[in-house]
């Protein structure tokens, strides 16, 4: 199970910490990318609901992963997140709508 928490960072930013993501039996790299995307979207959506202007600093462990960087790049290219600098992101309105539609379809 993946645990995501936010800790304080410099003003206007927050820090997201994430536990290890482990591949289960039969899980593919694509599944892992979706897990990473969903974990990032969840953390950003929680921050967005509290303060839409605040950026979240992704953990170095996450940004050291080529797959996680690819996921963030795809979210950025699709205009779901705004990236201030590498690993410092916030959800856009479009990203929040994606998150809401995804959570509604899973309910």
Residue extents of the structural domains in the chain: 4-19+28-102
The pLDDT score that the predictor gives to residue 34 is 87
The pLDDT score that the predictor gives to residue 92 is 97
The pLDDT score that the predictor gives to residue 54 is 93
The pLDDT score that the predictor gives to residue 21 is 46
Burial-class residue 68 by CB neighbours within 10 Å (0-12, 13-18, 19+): buried
Topology at the third CATH level for domain 4-19+28-102: Arc Repressor Mutant, subunit A (1.10.10)
As a whole number of angstroms, the distance between CA 63 and CA 46 comes to: 20
pTM score of the predicted model: 0.70
Higher pLDDT, 71 or 12: 71
Residues 3-16: tens digit of each pLDDT: 444 444 445 555 44
């Amino acid at each position: 199970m993946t645990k995501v928490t936010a800790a304080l960072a410099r003003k206007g930013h927050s820090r997201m910490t994430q536990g290890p993501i482990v591949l289960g039996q039969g899980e593919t790299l694509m599944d892992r990318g979706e897990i990473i995307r969903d974990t990032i979207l969840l953390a950003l959506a929680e921050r967005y609901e509290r303060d839409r202007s605040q950026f979240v600093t992704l953990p170095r462990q996450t940004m050291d992963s080529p797959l996680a960087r690819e996921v963030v790049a795809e979210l950025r290219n699709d205009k779901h997140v705004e990236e201030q600098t590498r690993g410092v992101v916030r959800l856009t309105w479009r990203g929040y709508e994606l998150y809401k539609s995804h959570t509604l379809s899973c309910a």
